[in-house]
Amino acid sequence: MENVKTGTTTVGIVTKEGVVLATEHRASMETFIAHKVAQKLYKLDTNMGMTTAGLVGDLQVLVRYMRAEISLYRLRRGALMPVGAAATLLSNILNERKFFPYYVGLIVGGYDNKGYHVYSLDAAGGAIEDKYASVGSGSLFVYGVLEDRWKDDLSLDEGVNLAIRGITAAMKRDAASGDGISVATITKERGFEDLSGEVEKRMKKMKLK
């Protein structure tokens, strides 16, 4: 199962109050649903998180690499690693493996002294910063929702609802995405917070169920 290919939907959104990261839970092997509780949203540090899409084995290795490097940075410098530095580090790790690339699509999001950031990364090591990003087989459906509803002055609460709305749209149309939603916010005041327990309540309030 370490080589399970995850058909996935993940999203990262920058709001005026923080960053929102969200994923669904399904891991698939072509038409076979391999897992219904796959973890695709990870805390890297108090100021940063990552969403993952791709081969499970590759993803788990990369999360371990990043956590170790970020911890070492914090120990050596006595400060949190900037989000851009983490994205560059991850980009370099991906780019070094040219002949047998990591089969992944990633989003890194969080805050530093320059503000809130979201970066999307591809398997070749390309890293692009944007106000919102979606990665995975259901990303086209998410982008349809984001293009229609995202705005510059989006609040954190609105961002959480928008992420849930986007993932829900993908789960309705992408057979490789489903089985629940994980959501986390990252703010300067509260750090990394898992809000997955609020998803059902928010979906009912938005009449998505």
Q: Which residues are catalytic?
A: 8
Calpha distance 38→53 (Å, rounded): 11
Strand runs labelled E in 94-144: 104-112, 115-121, 127-130, 132-135
Calpha distance 134→32 (Å, rounded): 23
What single-letter DSSP state applies at residue 138? T
Place of tokens 């750090």: 191
Calpha distance 105→120 (Å, rounded): 8
Calpha distance 208→168 (Å, rounded): 8
Among the listed residues 1, 10, 20, the one whose alpha carbon sits nearest the alpha carbon of residue 192: 20
User: What tokens were used for 147?
Assistant: 């293009």
In this structure, what are the phi and psi dihedrals at residue 48, rounded to the nearest 5 degrees? -155, 145
Among the listed residues 175, 120, 110, the one whose alpha carbon sits nearest the alpha carbon of residue 146: 120
